């Protein structure tokens, strides 16, 4: 898919991996819809990027709000790229040291945002893409989801997060197969430990310990590296139905 002059929608687009993706795609000539719940950051990013971006406040689990975001994108032209970066994560054991079971509402919240929200964006964006005219090669669009290495080697306390990201991994291939006749590709990126605002809140010693566990390069991932992989997936027409780990060869230990 040619990025220049394409309309792209990025959830979680006001910070971290999503913000880096918006910046990467706009720099490559796309027009972007920044979708996030943080209106202050989202509006500031859209203002900085000028006419190349607009901000839409939306909760990815809300059908009406995501539909409105997609409609905002299609008002700018055919929607060609959708990237889901919105996500949440909390640490809790299945049964804690005092014998208390994992909070069910917390588990449901993580699943709702990370898995159901990702699917909500996938289905609504794909529906809009399927109605758009095909490019010369029959391609109509690309959907890129965000999982995590926790889908494969979740740590102690990550049962909800790992389950949600494992679901994103598992739906990648069937979604790609479902949408093949419409000329829509689906891929997923499974990042390792990235230097995002969430990790920025950790003490420097904790950040250094995380970086030390990464084989090479021995540092936290740069969100720009995630964004460059998004760029490559969009432009590489033979990438479809695949989950790509982006983690510096990291395999997470139990804790």
Higher-confidence position of 206 and 45? 45
- Which percentage of the chain shows pLDDT scores above 90? 87
Q: Across residues 99-126, what is the average pLDDT?
A: 97
161: annotated active-site residue: yes
- The pLDDT confidence band at residue 203, using thresholds 50, 70 and 90, is confident
For the chain, the domains span: 7-244
Which of 4-8, 86-90, 137-141, 223-227 shows the lowest mean pLDDT across its residues? 86-90
Place of tokens 């794909």: 126
Higher pLDDT, 252 or 97: 97
If you average pLDDT over residues 175-202, what whole number do you get? 91
Residue 163 CA neighbour count, 13 Å, CB half: 19
pLDDT for 201 equals 67
- What pLDDT is attached to residue 174? 98
pLDDT in tens, 234-244: 999 999 999 99
pLDDT value at residue 212: 87
CA distances from 143 to 16, 109, 118, 197, 221 (A): 19, 23, 10, 24, 22
CA–CA dist 144, 85 (Å, integer): 9
Q: Which of 152, 161, 226, 238 is catalytic?
A: 161
Q: What is the pLDDT of residue 202?
A: 67
Q: Is the dihedral of CA 140, 56, 52, 172 positive or negative?
A: negative
CA distance linking residue 158 with residue 164, whole number of Å? 10
- State the chain's mean pLDDT as an integer: 95
Strands (E), the chain: 7-11, 31-36, 53-57, 79-84, 141-146, 184-191, 243-246
Query: Three-state SS for 212?
Result: helix
CATH for 7-244? 3.40.50.720
């Amino acid at each position: 898919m040619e990025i220049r002059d394409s309309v792209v929608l990025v959830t979680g687009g006001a910070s971290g991996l999503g913000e880096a993706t918006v910046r990467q795609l706009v720099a490559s000539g796309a027009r972007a819809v920044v979708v996030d719940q943080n209106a202050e950051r989202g509006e500031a990013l859209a203002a900085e990027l000028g006419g190349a971006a607009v901000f839409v406040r939306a909760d990815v689990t809300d059908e009406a709000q995501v539909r409105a975001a997609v409609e905002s994108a299609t008002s700018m032209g055919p929607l060609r790229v959708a990237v889901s970066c919105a996500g949440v994560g909390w640490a809790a054991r299945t049964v804690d040291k005092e014998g208390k079971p994992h909070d069910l509402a917390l588990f449901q919240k993580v699943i709702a945002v990370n898995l159901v929200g990702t699917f909500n964006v996938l289905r609504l964006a794909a529906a809009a893409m399927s109605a758009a005219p095909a490019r010369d090669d029959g391609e109509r669009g690309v959907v890129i989801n965000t999982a995590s290495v926790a889908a494969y080697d979740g740590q102690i306390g990550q049962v909800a997060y790992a389950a949600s990201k494992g679901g994103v991994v598992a739906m990648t291939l069937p979604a790609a197969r479902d949408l093949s006749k419409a000329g829509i590709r689906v891929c997923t990126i499974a990042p390792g430990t990235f230097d995002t605002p969430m990790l920025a809140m950790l003490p420097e010693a904790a950040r250094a310990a995380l970086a030390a566990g990464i084989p090479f390069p021995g540092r936290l991932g740069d969100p720009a590296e995630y964004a460059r992989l998004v760029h490559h997936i969009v432009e590489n027409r033979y990438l479809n139905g695949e989950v790509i780990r982006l983690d510096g060869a990291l395999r997470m230990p139990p804790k």
